[in-house]
Structure 1
Amino acid sequence: MAHPENLLPALSVLLLLLLPPPALFGAGNLRPTGGRLLNSCIQARRKCQADPTCNAAYRHLNSCTPSAAEELSVSADCLESAQHLRNSSLMSCRCHRRMKNQTTCLSIYWTVHPARSLGDYEPDVSPYEDTVTGKPLEMNLGQWSMIKPDWDLCLKFAMLCTLNEKCGRLRKAYGEACSRPHCQRRTCLRQLRAFFENAETSYAEGLLLCPCAPSDLGCGQRRRNTIAPSCALPSGTSNCLELQRLCLLDPLCRSRLADFQTHCHPMDILGTCATEQSRCLQAYLGMIGTPMTPNFVSNVNASVALSCTCRGSGNLQEECERLEQAFSRNPCLTKAIAVKMHLHSTLFSQDSASHEKKLKNRNLEPRPQPWMLSLFSCTLTLILLPSSW
């Protein structure tokens, strides 16, 4: 008769063959992580500090007045300081939208921006070197039970955000900050930025870019109120160029505007876009929470615009209208929003069918047979027996 110790390996192998594959325990849920920024402006500044010539040039350029920094021909010493930085790692440094000390990084970027503009004029380009890594929105069976079929899509996406711990927490924070009777606009904008920077892209885009039928005014109003227009937008009617001036004085707003102009810029009269739609949408969402926060203009369509006017612009009328139309008549932005809304409209119909299929398959899943449970119990008993038996 075979000794029990000799039976253990064979029974253990048999048990492993009968158990479900590892993927069912979560081994298949691993996701690749995005690459890290190799040359952030904060890292480049540290390298510059170790070089006396670079450090002196940076410190002097940082002390230049805004007019001298933008018009280097006015100040020869600022021009010389910028020239010393041409070969430093600061010239290729970038920032991440979700990095720590983002404001510091952006301030460094714009401090050395005049050095990038020496010779041929270089317009403001995006300081962000972000990889768009938006994952498709995933829904589990438990979430479906909370969503009513007759709800409009904006309400459904709002519920999905509420069911997600992080999205719900961030949304509640800006909702409270932007809905107080005596709303402080700066606090409201800061909380809005925190939401669109830190919430998962799929939830943020779903909440803001949910499709509504033109006749569904409640859905359109919910979409428009996503960014709390009564508090987040400027009181009264501001001139668009004045909003731009305020934006350019703030490194973060200036960066978001440059990012928007880089990725949502139509290159020709045919509306050919400079980059892919996902980057344009990311740049558009980045404008929310800045002094130039855009919003939907009404509850009946998906047109967006800045909350400003070009009346009284004088000889800068054309410049003001170009700025205004970069949001209200931008074919790249309009198409990107339309495509995303179409994808959102198909999400629930596809997931509804998938939900029904999963329920059906769940009922058809084979259940453990009594002999399998008996074998498991027998094997476990043998494994726990003392070796001297």
Structure 2
Amino acid sequence: MGRPQSPRPPPLVVLLLLLLLLLLPLPLGAGDSLPTESRLMNSCIQAKRKCQANPICKAAYHHLGSCASTLSTPLPSEDSSVSADCLEAAQQLRNSSLIDCTCHRRMKNQTTCLDIFWTVHPARNLGDYELDVSPYDDTVTGKPWKMNLSKLKMLKPDSDLCLKFTTLCILNDKCDRLRKAYGMACSGPHCQRHICLAQLRNFFEKAAESHAQGLLLCPCAPTDKSCGERRRNTIAPSCALPSEPPNCLELQSRCLTDALCRSRLMDFQTHCHPLDILGTCATEQSRCLRAYLGLIGTTMTPNFISNFNTSVALSCTCRGSGNLQEECEQLERSFSHNSCLRKAIATKMHFHSQLFSQDWAPPTFSVMQHQMENLALRTQARVPFLFSCTLTLVLLQSLW
């Protein structure tokens, strides 16, 4: 009896077709689910798992955790002593993946990730870490701009743009649900501020960026009070902001004791920071806007100063700052006189205005171009892998 023939492998054409189906980019507008840690290049949660597998790294991380629990985060002008063994533990982690690990504001287990990051970076003067570097890596958030403007036909053509963006949110199930949730949590006589802020954060984290930015950064004519009031009230429900403005440095101190608020503030300082007197900005405007929106719902929630202009500020004062007056005013100006943030807001408002420049027109060329660029980037990222897989299959086919 002859040996039974082994089944022949599938033809090369079939394998290639299957491979192409797996590698084809997602359709425009897909991928709205929350990012998982596996989509980050070096999530702090993943980095900690690697560290725990190494006895030296595990011991150093554990010791640094005890250092972080006993150290409060000081203001830059304050001083605190750091023990030699804490410095040694920090030094031992310099060559581990923990030192460059990052988090994402839309990831699951975000709080756990940030706790790990701040365990590795426990205080401004522990070692010589650059703590004004954001713990967030938002490289996975780029999505095409998606919004159906034809739904606005029910409104009057001369309706203000803030009303139009509000209507677009209401007509979107997810945006409307998230907006109603913070509206209910932030209104009424028994409003609890911490619940209100949590729902505000939830909205700006989970709503599509096009909806969130449209609601907050809708352009209004200087004389259009109702439009400006609608825009300002987006993040100023009855209990979202303190009734009596606290001192700005006290506000910052409270923020620095909370891992999430601290992270959002560092993200803002990283991406909305003018590098010189000419106003050169550290990063692109989209990152600055994302960092600015990330602060909404934290202790450091900024908002528009009035219904008539687009200047923003913290809800705090520098009265009673004593010998820290200059430092307090510097913090205040980082919002109210921030040229990078002002330019980013102005650019986005102009973009939103252009969307409605024609009566109920489809998305403008700039929007379509943005969609195509995102599609091209996603496809380009797959080309090297596709080529290597194809080459491997061709070589295997030649051996069959």
CA 1:112–1:157: 2 relative to 1, 3 Å: same
Question: Quick one: distance in 2 between partners of 1:278 and 1:309?
Answer: 29
Residue 133 (1) aligns with residue 136 (2): no
Task: Map Cα deviations across residues 272-301 of structure 1 (whole Å, 9 max, x no partner).
Answer: 100111000000000000000000111111
Residue from 324, 329, 334 that aligns with 1:326: 334
Name the structure 2 match of 1:240. 248
1:54 to 50, 54, 57: 57
2:354 aligned to which of 346, 350, 364: 346
Distance in 1 (alpha carbons) for counterparts of 2:334 and 2:149: 39
Q: 1:94 to 1:139 in 2, by over 3 A?
A: same
Match runs of 1:143-292 below 5 Å? 143-292=151-300
- Higher mean Cα deviation, 232-241 or 277-286? 232-241
Q: Which has the higher contact order (CA 8 A, sep 6+)?
A: 2
Unaligned runs of 5+ in 1: 1-26, 356-389
Indicate how the Cα distance of structure 1 residues 95 and 351 shifts in structure 2: closer, same or farther if over 3 A, else same: farther
- Which letter maps to 1:76? A
CA distance in 2, matches of 1:254, 1:28: 34
Q: Is the 8 A contact 2:71 2:123 kept in 1?
A: no
Shift of 1:69: 7.6
Residue aligned with 1:295, SS: strand
Per-residue CA deviations over 1:117-165 (Å, capped at 9, x if unaligned) read 7654523210001025143243153x13333313211111000001111
Change beyond 3 A, Cα 1:351–1:105: farther
Equivalent residue pairs, number? 328
Name the % identity: 71
Structure richer in helix, relative to its length: 1
Which ranges of structure 2 fall in alignment gaps of 5 or more residues? 1-24, 364-400
What is the TM-score normalised by the length of structure 1? 0.79
TM-score if structure 2 supplies the norm length?
0.77
Query: CA–CA distance in 2 between the matches of 1:151 and 1:260?
Result: 33
1:112 aligns with 2:115: no
Report how far residue 52 of structure 1 moved.
Answer: 1.7
Change (3 A) 1:234 1:54: same
Counterpart of 1:63, as a letter, is S
Which structure has the larger Rg? 1
Closer, same or farther: CA 306–30 of 1 in aligned 2, 3 Å: closer
Residue in 2 aligned with 1:67? 71
Give how far 1:346 is off.
1.4
Q: How far apart are the structure 1 equivalents of 2:59 and 2:339? A: 45
Residues 30-86 of structure 1, C-alpha deviations (whole Å, 9 max, x = no match): 568699212100011111111122111111111124437877853122112212211
1:90 is paired with a residue whose SS is: helix
Cα distance in 1 for partners of 2:332, 2:124 equals 27
Distance in 2 (CA, whole Å) between partners of 1:351 and 1:259 is: 38
Aligned: 1:312 with 2:315: no
RMSD across aligned positions (CA):
2.3
Distance 2:315 2:200 in 1: 16
User: d(CA) in 2 for partners of 1:127 and 1:28?
Assistant: 28
What is the alpha-carbon distance in structure 1 between the residues aligned to residue 202 and residue 290 of structure 2? 14
Letter in 1 for 2:209: T
Deviations 1:92-130 (A, max 9, x none): 100011100000100100110159976545232100010
